[in-house]
Structure 1
């Protein structure tokens, strides 16, 4: 029970940060896709930079996960088609809903019950991929 509380608190902190930074705002996302504002590009760029820094620190100091195992990174398969296809599907979902996966839960928590449909669609898409992934060209 105690272990679960830290995850709940982390999720609450994530939601607060997403809300206060306006990363869940449909208007901010629309501005980004129309190249009318730097706000979201700055947020995404900051997240990428922090992710790179943390990854470098994990690799350099051979940090361990919560269970004590060394964190390792494996190389991704090369091939632009799979990433382009996945990016297009992700982008279409983002454009249709106005939110990527993280903010849909924040928006639900802010009182937008329509996000339940988005969550159901995301879960259905993930399940469908799991069912057909062995028949897809990877």
Structure 2
């Protein structure tokens, strides 16, 4: 599939990631203490940041998936990807939530935090990689990597 992509595909992805990271850094959400203050309900600024993102993204996703058009750089049709609410989704969400609550970081904010010079964040990012590798290893040992379980996102 990557051979069919437009030459600007990767530069646009990088630009989008940089814009996302800049937004996280500018809003203060790349600082774990801000996220932890939100989770302690003492600073609800993150609620407004997330609300703004939802207000912008929701209409775009709604209109794009109903337009019948294709993405300009990949040619792939805009479609909704549905994921059933199963045990893996619930366990993954719980693990993510607990990790976010303990550390105050998620992957996007972790990388953005590196961009603002918070280099001790490398420990948290290393923990995310170790956890992701461990999850993949355990699933492969349990034989959970069947074609049906790997096709849905």
**Which residue among 36, 48, 57 is the counterpart of 2:54?**
48
Figure out how many residues of one structure are paired with residues of the other and give that number: 136
Show the 5 A alignment for 1:58-69.
Answer: 58-65=64-71, 66-69=73-76
Report how far residue 57 of structure 1 moved.
Answer: 1.2
Query: Post-superposition shift, 1:13?
Result: 1.9
Q: CA deviation at 1:122?
A: 1.2
Q: What is the rounded CA distance, in whole Å, between the counterparts of 1:75 and 1:6 in structure 2?
A: 25
Give ranges in structure 2 of 5+ residues lacking alignment: 1-6
| In the alignment, structure 1 residue 77 sits paired with structure 2 residue 84 | yes
Q: TM-score, normalised by structure 1?
A: 0.81
**Bigger RCO (CA 8 Å, 6+ sep):** 2
* TM-score using structure 2 length: 0.74
Deviation at 1:38, TM superposition (A): 2.3
**What 5-or-longer segments of structure 1 have no aligned partner?**
none
CA RMSD of aligned residues (A): 2.4
1:43-90 alpha-carbon deviations (Å, 9 max, x no partner) = 1222233332222111111232322121222322134x4443222211
Return the offset for 1:105.
0.6
Per the TM alignment, residue 20 of structure 1 is displaced from its structure 2 partner at its CA by 1.2
Task: Give the secondary structure class of the aligned counterpart of 1:75.
Answer: coil
Aligned-partner Cα distance in 1 for 2:28–2:68:
35
